[in-house]
Amino acid sequence: MSFLVELLVSILIVAGAGFALIGSIGLVRLPDFYTRLHAPTKATTLGMGCLLVASIALISLAEAELSVHELLITLFLFITAPVTAHMLAKTALHYDIGFVRGTRGKELASKARERVSPKENDE
C-alpha cells in the first residue's frame, strides 16, 4: 500500500473520530435537551462520512476492488438520522421539556405543541 493512500486514510479516520468526539463533548456541555439534539447530528453526518470515505478509499485502493457497502450505509444514515432527530424534538416539545434561559422564541413552543400557526391569537 502506497504511503499516500495510508496518509489519506489516516487523515480521514482522525478527522472522523475527531468529529464524533466533538459530538460527544457537545452532549456533555450543551445546556438543554434541544441544544443537545444538535450534537449527534454532527457525529452521524460528517464524523461517519469521513470514516466511510476512509473505508471506501482503503478497500478500493489497497485491495483493488470497488466497495460500495459504505455508500449504502451513508444512504441509510441520511434517511434515518433526520427522522430520529425530528421525533426526539417533537417528543420533547409535547412533554413540555423546558428551554435553557435566553432561548429566543420560547413562547412559540405552546403553539408548536398545538400544531397551529404562530400568528393565531386564540388563547
Partner 1 sequence: MPLHSIFLLLVWLGLNNTLAPGHIVLGGILAFLIPLVVAGLHTPQPRVQRYGLACRYVLMVMYDIVVANIEVAIRILGPMKNLKPGFVAVPIETHNELMLTILASTISLTPGTVSAEVTKDRKWLYVHVLHMEDEEALIQQIKERYERKLREVFGC
Q: Is 93 in the site for partner 1 (CB under 8 A)?
A: yes
Nearer CB in complex with partner 1: 2/65: 65
d(CA 96, CA 5): 50
Looking at 105, 121, 122, 123, which residue binds partner 1 (CB under 8 A)? 105
Pick left, alpha or beta for residue 59 (phi over 0 → left; psi -120 to 50 → alpha; otherwise beta): alpha
Q: Residue with C-alpha cell 408548536?
A: 112
13's grid cell: 479516520
Q: Does 60 bind partner 1 (CB under 8 A)?
A: no
Question: Please, which residue, 7 or 106, has the CB nearer to partner 1?
Answer: 106
Say which residue the cell 434515518 belongs to: 80
Which of 17, 32, 60, 61 is the binder for partner 1 (CB under 8 A)? 32
Are residues 21 and 40 in contact, defined by beta-carbon separation less than 8 angstroms? no
Q: Are 12 and 50 in contact (CB under 8 A)?
A: yes
Binding site for partner 1 (CB under 8 A): 19, 22-23, 25-26, 29-32, 34-35, 37-39, 41-42, 45-46, 49, 67-69, 71-72, 78-79, 81-83, 85-86, 89-90, 92-93, 99-100, 102-106, 108-109, 111-113, 115-118
